[in-house]
Amino acid sequence: MNKKLNKIEISSEYITLGQFLKFADIIYSGGEAKSFLATHQVKINGELDNRRGRKLRTGDVIEVESQIYEIE
C-alpha cells in the first residue's frame, strides 16, 4: 500500500511533537497530546517516540495513524 507523503511547513527552527499533532489536525487541542501519545504509535525518522516535547526539524519524517508527514 502506497502512503501519501504530507508536507508540513514550519516557519521556526523546530516544532514540538505535541504542537505538530495539533498543527497537522491529528488532535484538536494541545491538551490531548499526552493521552494521544499514550495510546497511539508515532514513528519519527523510523523510530518509535512518544515524547510530546520532542523537537521536530526540517527533514524529519513522522508516521502516525497510517499517514506520513515530512517537516519542511
Please state whether the predicted TM-score (pTM) of the whole model is above 0.85.
Answer: yes
Q: Looking at residue 66, what DSSP letter applies? A: T
Q: Classify the C-alpha dihedral 53-39-6-70 as positive or negative.
A: positive
The two beta strands, 5-8 and 67-71, are: parallel
pLDDT-based confidence at residue 4 (cuts at 50, 70, 90): confident
**Each residue of 34-62: pLDDT tens digit?**
999 999 999 999 999 999 999 999 999 99
Domain at 27, CATH number: 3.10.290.10
| Domain, as residue range, for 29 | 5-71
Domain total for the chain? 1
Is pLDDT at 19 greater than 70 in this prediction? yes
Strand order in the sheet with 5-8: 5-8, 67-71, 61-64, 42-44, 47-48
A 10 A CB-CB count for 66 gives: 7
